[in-house]
Every structure is written in structure tokens, then in C-alpha cells.
């Protein structure tokens, strides 16, 4: 068990922005934040994007950017006041007594170091392990977080990992220093339901067996309903509601908490399914994709004999665990990757030729989809410059039209990505895709990093665009509720192969393949009476 002095306590924490002279500007980003995490306790901190959740965690680690500063309150880890600690004391705490599990792991990994090199550093600094003992522990950690082949995983560089695999590696890294308190910032947003449950069960086991305290930051309340002891609701830099999980999740007192819960309950859309007479706008026939040398022993088969069809106006959901080939499928359809085998027939243009822009992709991480040095206006102009004979005035008019279509204020065009919220950037990503008048829009985990309120808004936006433009959508997601809400049909990928295709209603009622059954059983639907499922779920 972790010693008692690992208790984390924040009292009246205040974080403000600094002006150019280093003084505070008076703008409070966090105000009066008080919370505690005891050894062995699981505390969930929930709220929409921009509410201050991540800022709270970064304050605990004293990793705020130079433009921000702690202007009031205290943060204590046991007897150590982190707001007054020296850099040497902080370095001994970070990754050791106080661990951090980041939301976007690929930004946190050094691209020039392997997973093994990343893991060996905290194992050496905080666990005293070196050489073969450190490697054995690294393999054990990767196995615990769900790597099918830990020996291959330790040799991988960050760019060789899928989003879900990178998040699992980050989980292993956070646990390597055997922390007493773990700050987990959206650690499962990039994972499918099976792996999400696996990671949560791992954290739950760690807190039960050795007293790990967990401050779990999330916008997905359902994911922690059966694990959290207490729930704290944050809005606009302050904690607006707190209490036992069963109380907050079933009888929320504040209107804001009620909105969060309502937004998380995605009921299936009652939409007319496209008639079978609609023409096909996309046909995949035996598509395969192999990376690396053609020799089977050294290469990697990401897709194998994938055959799918998509009709005009249809919404097809693609489900699968991390590493199943979902993103590779999206990139291959769009043409960012070239299929090794099989054929892809896209929508024909008016002249009878295949339009390269007929299929557009909405990426998973909106912050990574834009050049941080360019304004949104410059980023949206870029694809239109490739259209010959389209003068600047017409380009501006088209950009203004799509900005209006995705309900974004035109003033955002002069901002850079870092000045926009995740929801604003995801809308801008959709706007950029619409500029080229696609017939098919592929959404690759387009809402996985968004809070419940923003997610609901983006999904409603996509449905409206689908109806108004007659778009066909491919919704790639690990979120079963999103697929159930959006899609007409569901295709399931496993190890690069399509193992099941079914109508959405039939799939969720009676999945046929054993892997599909595991995916459906891992999801947590809301009860028919509208109560939050925390009352029905027993902790594993």
C-alpha cells in the first residue's frame, strides 16, 4: 500500500494569465479549486472542453506555460507543498510519487526514442531497475496494458503505433514509476470499449492492491460510472458540484451537470434508411494493404481482402479495436496510402472520370490536422489553390459559405490552431473537407477527443450536412453509442479483416461474431428509465 503521505490536496487554487511584464493580468483561469485524492481513492473530474480540468492537473505538476501562473491557494502532496518546491524536489516527484497519464501521447513521446527507451527512464529513476530487469519490467507493463506482442512493442517508435497503442504505451509509462497518485487526463478517449475497460480495470486493480490514488479527468462520464468513488464537476475554472458518484450521476443538483449527463445519453437517430435502389458511391473489392518488405516474415499486413459498399446518402459505421486497421482503411480509401491488392471504385464525376476529391477525410485529432504556424484562413485556402481558374474572390466566398455551414464565426479565420478550442477546430476540419464538394466524408474518430456537449453538437452537424448535401458518411469509431446513434449499417474490423456487416439495429441486438459480441458487451448503454447506469454496474 502507498504511504499515507501521498495524499494530494488542492486548497483554493487560483491560476491567472500573466502579462508581458510577468505580472498577472487579472484574468482567472482557475478560481477557488479545492479537491483531494486519498491513497486508494478513484476521483473523477468531469467537465466540457475548456473547463479547466487539464489545467488543474498541469498545476499539480508545476508544468504551466510561462503565460500562466499560480496566484493563490496551495497544492500539497503529503507534506510537500508543490507550489513552493524546488525544481530538484519537483523532478523527484514527477513520474514517481505523482504520475501523469496524458491525453495525446504522440505529442508527449520523443519521436527519436523507442517505447523501451521511454519506459527504462522512470524504471531507472524511480524503481532502481536497469538492464535485463528493466527490460523484463517493460515487457510486463506492456502486457498489462494490452499489447498483443510486447516484444515488438518495446522496439517500436511512436510513429509506428496507432493512436490506441500509443495511449496504452503512455499508460505503461505512467505506471512505470509506481506513483502514489496518478493524474489521468482523458486516458481512454482514443481506445475502444474493450481496451477502455481493460485500462480502467488495470487502474482499479492498482489502487486496490497497492493503494494508488487516481484523479481521473474525463468528458465521458459513463466510462467511470462503475469505478469512481467521488465525482467532481468543473465548469469555467471552478468546481460547481461534488459528491459520491452514485449521487452526482443519478441526482445532479446543478443545471450544468444535468446538461453533461443528458448530452452523454445518445439515443439512436430515427432516420429513414436509404432505399436499396440508391446508387453505390464507393465500392471496395478485395482491398489489402501491406507495409514493409513483401516477404511475409518482415512485413505487416494491415488490411486483408476487405470488401465493402457504400450507397448514396448512407452512413456506414466501422468498428474495431485499436490496431485493427480502421485508420489504414480510411487512408487507403482517400488515397493517402496505396492499396497493395484489390480495387477501390470511387464516385464518378460529371465527365465520367474518377474525382480525386470525391472522398474527403475528417481526422481524429483536430489540433494535429492543421499547421500550427498558419491561420485557419491560410489552411482553408490551400486546397482551393489547386483548382485552376478559381480567383481569390470566389475562394473567399466559398470559404465564407462553408464556415457558415459548420456554424463557425468568420473571425476565427484569422486565428491559429492554438487559439481555438477542440470543437472549433473539428468544425474547421469539416469545413475544409466540404470545400472540395465531396460525395463521401470519412470521419476517423472525429469526436473521440471531444467532451459530451461538443460531441453531441458535432454529430448533429454531421447529420444535418448529410441530409442537406446528400452526403454518404463512413463513421470510424470505437464509441458504440456514436455508431448506434449515427449509422445505418455497421462493419467490424479485426486484424485487418471484415468479420461482420449488419444493419445497426440487428448488430446491437444480436451480434454474430464472438469479437463483435465482446465489443457490444463492453459498451455501457443507458437504462430505459433514463437513470444513469452506475446503479446497475458492479465493480469488477
Domains of the chain, by residue range, sit at: 4-108+179-262, 276-358+438-509, 367-437
Pairing assessment for the beta strands 8-18 and 24-37 based on DSSP bridges: antiparallel
**What cell was used for 17?**
494569465
Q: Are 410 and 382 in contact (CB under 8 A)?
A: no
459 close to 447: Cβ distance less than 8 angstroms = yes
Best CA proximity match to 137, nearest among 126, 123, 149: 123
pLDDT for position 75:
96
In Å, how far from its chain's centre is CA 462? 18
In DSSP terms, 99 is beta-bridged to: 182
* 192-205 tens-digit pLDDT: 677 777 778 888 88
Residue 4 confidence class, pLDDT cut points 50, 70, 90: very low
The answer to whether residues 140 and 156 touch, using CB atoms and an 8 Å cutoff, is no
pLDDT value, residue 232: 95
Confidence check: pLDDT of 36 > 50: yes
Residue 43 is predicted with a pLDDT of 96
Average pLDDT over residues 84-112: 86
Q: Which residues pair with 490 in a beta bridge?
A: 317, 502
Flag whether pLDDT at 538 surpasses 60: no
Q: Would the pLDDT of 31 be above 90?
A: yes
Class of domain 276-358+438-509: alpha beta
φ/ψ of residue 50, rounded to 5: 85, 5
Of 13, 71, 3, nearest to 45 by C-alpha is: 13
SS3 assignment, position 451 = coil
Q: Is the per-residue pLDDT at 448 higher than 80?
A: no
Please report, rounded to a whole number, the percentage of residues in the chain having pLDDT higher than 70.
Answer: 87
Q: Has residue 350 got a pLDDT over 70?
A: no
pLDDT value at residue 536 = 33
> What distance in Å separates the CA atoms of residue 520 and residue 89, rounded to the nearest whole number?
46
Q: How many helices (H) and strands (E) does the chain have?
A: 19, 19
Is the pLDDT higher at 10 or at 106?
A: 10
Exposure of 144 in the CB half-sphere (CA atoms within 13 A): 20
Mean pLDDT of the chain: 83
Residues forming beta bridges with residue 217, ordered by sequence position: 45, 185
More confident residue, 291 or 104: 291
At residue 492, what are phi and psi to the nearest 5 degrees?
-110, 130
Q: How far lies 193's CA from each of 144, 265, 372, 382, in Å?
A: 16, 16, 31, 37
Residues 6+ apart with CB under 8 A from 291: 299, 300, 302
pLDDT at position 1: 39
Longest CA pairwise span in the chain (Å): 74
pTM, to two decimals: 0.72
H or E element, residue 505: helix 504-509
524: pLDDT strictly greater than 80 = no
How many percent of the chain have pLDDT more than 90?
A: 36
Contact call for residues 491 and 484 (beta carbons, < 8 A)? no
pLDDT tens track for 45-82: 998 877 889 899 999 999 988 888 999 999 999 999 99
Summarize the confidence of residues 32-36 as an average pLDDT.
95
Q: Cβ distance 364 to 163 under 8 Å?
A: yes
pLDDT reading at 532 higher than 50: no
Q: Please determine, for residue 535, whether its predicted confidence score (pLDDT) is greater than 50.
A: no
pLDDT of residue 39: 93
Is the confidence at residue 356, as pLDDT, over 70? no
Query: What confidence tens digit (pLDDT) does each residue in 362-403 have?
Result: 887 777 788 889 999 999 998 888 776 778 888 899 899 989
* Same CATH fold assignment for domains 4-108+179-262 and 276-358+438-509: yes
User: What's the confidence (pLDDT) of residue 384?
Assistant: 86
Instruction: Collapse the DSSP code of 479 into the 3-class scheme (helix H, G, I; strand E, B; otherwise coil) and give the result.
Output: coil
The CATH superfamily of 4-108+179-262 is P-loop containing nucleotide triphosphate hydrolases (3.40.50.300)
Confidence of residue 15 (pLDDT cuts 50, 70, 90): very high
Contact 425, 372 (CB under 8 A): no
Q: What is the mean pLDDT of residues 123-134?
A: 88
Amino acid at each position: 500500500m502507498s504511504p499515507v503521505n501521498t495524499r494530494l490536496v488542492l486548497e483554493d487554487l487560483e491560476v491567472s494569465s500573466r502579462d508581458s511584464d510577468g505580472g498577472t493580468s487579472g484574468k482567472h483561469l482557475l478560481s477557488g479549486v479545492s479537491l483531494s485524492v486519498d491513497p486508494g481513492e478513484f476521483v473523477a473530474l468531469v467537465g466540457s472542453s475548456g473547463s479547466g480540468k487539464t489545467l488543474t492537473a498541469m498545476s499539480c505538476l508545476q508544468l504551466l506555460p510561462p503565460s500562466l501562473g499560480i496566484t493563490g491557494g496551495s497544492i500539497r502532496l503529503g507534506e510537500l507543498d508543490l507550489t513552493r518546491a524546488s525544481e530538484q524536489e519537483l523532478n523527484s516527484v514527477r513520474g514517481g510519487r505523482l504520475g501523469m497519464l496524458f491525453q495525446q501521447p504522440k505529442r508527449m513521446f520523443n519521436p527519436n526514442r523507442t517505447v523501451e527507451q521511454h519506459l527504462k527512464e522512470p524504471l531507472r529513476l524511480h524503481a532502481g531497475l536497469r538492464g535485463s530487469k528493466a527490460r523484463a519490467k517493460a515487457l510486463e507493463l506492456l502486457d498489462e496494458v494490452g499489447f498483443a506482442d510486447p516484444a515488438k512493442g518495446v522496439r517500436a517508435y511512436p510513429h509506428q503505433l496507432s493512436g490506441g497503442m500509443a495511449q496504452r504505451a503512455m499508460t505503461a509509462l505512467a505506471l512505470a514509476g509506481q506513483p502514489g497518485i496518478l493524474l489521468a487526463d482523458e486516458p481512454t478517449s482514443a481506445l475502444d470499449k474493450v481496451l477502455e475497460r481493460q485500462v480502467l480495470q488495470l487502474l482499479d486493480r492498482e489502487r486496490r492492491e497497492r493503494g494508488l490514488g487516481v484523479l481521473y479527468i474525463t468528458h465521458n462520464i459513463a466510462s467511470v460510472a462503475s469505478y469512481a468513488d467521488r465525482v467532481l464537476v468543473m465548469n469555467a475554472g471552478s468546481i460547481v458540484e461534488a459528491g459520491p458518484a452514485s449521487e452526482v450521476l443519478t441526482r445532479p443538483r446543478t443545471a450544468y451537470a444535468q446538461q453533461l449527463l443528458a448530452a452523454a445519453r445518445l439515443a439512436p437517430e430515427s432516420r429513414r434508411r436509404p432505399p436499396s435502389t440508391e446508387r453505390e458511391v464507393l465500392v471496395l473489392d478485395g482491398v489489402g494493404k501491406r507495409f514493409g518488405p513483401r516477404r511475409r516474415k518482415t512485413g505487416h499486413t494491415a488490411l486483408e481482402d476487405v470488401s465493402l459498399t457504400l450507397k448514396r446518402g448512407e452512413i456506414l459505421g466501422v468498428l474495431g479495436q485499436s490496431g485493427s486497421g480502421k485508420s489504414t482503411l480510411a487512408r487507403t480509401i482517400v488515397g493517402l496510402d496505396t492499396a497493395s491488392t484489390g480495387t477501390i471504385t470511387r464516385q464518378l464525376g460529371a465527365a465520367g472520370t474518377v474525382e480525386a476529391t470525391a472522398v474527403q477525410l475528417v481526422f481524429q485529432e483536430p489540433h494535429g490536422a492543421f499547421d500550427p504556424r498558419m491561420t485557419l484562413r491560410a489552411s482553408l485556402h490551400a486546397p482551393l489553390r489547386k483548382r485552376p481558374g478559381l480567383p481569390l474572390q470566389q475562394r473567399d466566398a466559398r470559404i465564407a459559405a462553408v464556415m457558415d455551414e459548420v456554424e463557425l464565426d468568420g473571425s476565427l479565420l484569422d486565428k491559429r490552431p492554438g487559439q481555438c478550442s477542440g470543437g472549433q477546430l473539428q468544425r474547421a476540419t469539416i469545413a475544409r473537407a466540404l470545400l472540395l464538394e465531396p460525395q463521401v466524408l470519412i470521419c476517423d474518430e472525429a469526436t473521440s477527443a471531444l467532451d459530451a456537449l461538443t460531441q453531441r453538437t458535432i454529430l448533429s452537424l454531421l447529420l444535418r450536412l448529410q441530409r442537406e448535401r446528400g452526403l454518404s458518411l463512413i463513421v470510424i469509431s470505437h464509441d458504440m453509442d456514436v455508431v448506434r446513434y449515427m449509422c445505418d449499417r455497421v462493419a467490424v474490423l479485426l486484424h485487418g479483416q471484415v468479420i461482420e456487416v449488419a444493419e445497426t439495429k440487428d448488430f446491437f441486438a444480436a451480434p454474430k461474431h464472438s469479437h463483435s459480441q465482446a465489443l457490444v458487451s463492453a459498451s455501457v448503454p443507458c437504462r430505459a428509465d433514463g437513470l444513469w447506469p452506475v446503479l446497475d454496474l458492479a465493480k469488477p
